[in-house]
Amino acid sequence: MKKPIEVSASILAADFGNLARDIKRCEDAGVTRFHIDCMDGHFVPNLTVGPVIVEAVRKRTQLLLSAHLMIEHPGEYIESYAKAGADSIQIQAECYGERLRTCHQWNQWPKQISQVDIPALRADLKKIRGLGKKAFVVFNPCTALCEEILKDCDGVLIMSVNPGFSGQQFMPEVLPKLERLKAIFSGDIAIDGGINAQTAPLAVKAGANILITASYLFGAGNLFEVTKSLKSL
Ligand code: DX5
Ligand code: ZN
């Protein structure tokens, strides 16, 4: 059965000085989830927020809250994010396995691996589930799907930009990953990066059921109309 299309508001493009107001605006517009981009300045070339903000957002909404961890050693922080109130914890496959030579230094991006270290990734996904949270694995545009891990995931997040910033351009070359997931995976399939009126239909057609959006949603004059049109895809 086809899952309903969900809109997940990435607060990266919200006004952090008026976060409670923007959360309410999103809720009134009909978004179904919130997405919090947690960046450490090492896994990605940007620094954002941590569990403190997840906790603050948790106090303001009953909607599902996802913590997208773009950080090194995510396993060390799973408990903190769970305690802060995230409903789903999303960990990057590129944190598990040997890094390619092109990104051995802390300040070389995007992070890439030669092969996913399945036991290590599985252990952290189990940790997430053990805390009663939904476990998502995230794949960067240049990382191939690792199908062996799918049975350990509640959802998969396909990055359609190199992680680090909102407002980047959608990379259509990731669409075949969505198509493959649609054929073999029954959990949630989320897409993150460059979602807008032109790219969202492509993502949904290829198999995504959760559309994560920051700049398109918050940049819209009418959040309600944007949310409605995305949900109707
Ligand atoms: C990028 C983040 C995304 C980002 C999306 O590293 O993971 O969630 O906020 O921003 P837009 O929708 O503007 O591409
Ligand atoms: Zn994200």
- Domains of the chain by range and CATH? 6-231 (3.20.20.70)
- Predicted local distance difference test score (pLDDT) of residue 2: 86
- Predicted local distance difference test score (pLDDT) of residue 1: 74
State which ligand 1 atom lies nearest to the alpha carbon of 35: 8
State which ligand 1 atom lies nearest to the alpha carbon of 46: 6
Closest CA to 81 of 59, 120, 54: 54
State the CB neighbour count (10 A cutoff) for residue 49.
Answer: 17
State which ligand 1 atom lies nearest to the alpha carbon of 194: 14
Instruction: Average pLDDT across each block of 10 residues of the chain; the chain has 233 residues. List them in order.
Output: 94 98 98 98 98 98 98 98 98 97 95 97 98 98 97 98 98 98 98 98 98 98 97 98
Instruction: Tell me which residues have their CB closer than 6 angstroms to ligand 1.
Output: 10, 12-13, 35, 37, 68, 161, 163-168, 192-195, 212-216
With tokens 């948790």, the residue in question is: 58
- Residue 66 phi/psi, 5-degree rounding, is -110, 135
Ligand 2 ion: nearby residues, β-carbon < 5 Å? 37, 68, 192
Q: Which stretch of DSSP H or E encloses residue 56?
A: helix 51-60
- Predicted local distance difference test score (pLDDT) of residue 25: 98
CA of residue 37 to ligand 1 center, whole Å: 8
The sign one gets for the Cα dihedral 105, 107, 108, 112 is: positive
- The whole-model pTM stands at 0.98
- Predicted local distance difference test score (pLDDT) of residue 104: 94
CA of residue 83 to ligand 2 center, whole Å: 20
Concerning whether 192 is annotated as a catalytic residue, the answer is yes
- Predicted local distance difference test score (pLDDT) of residue 64: 98
- Predicted local distance difference test score (pLDDT) of residue 94: 98
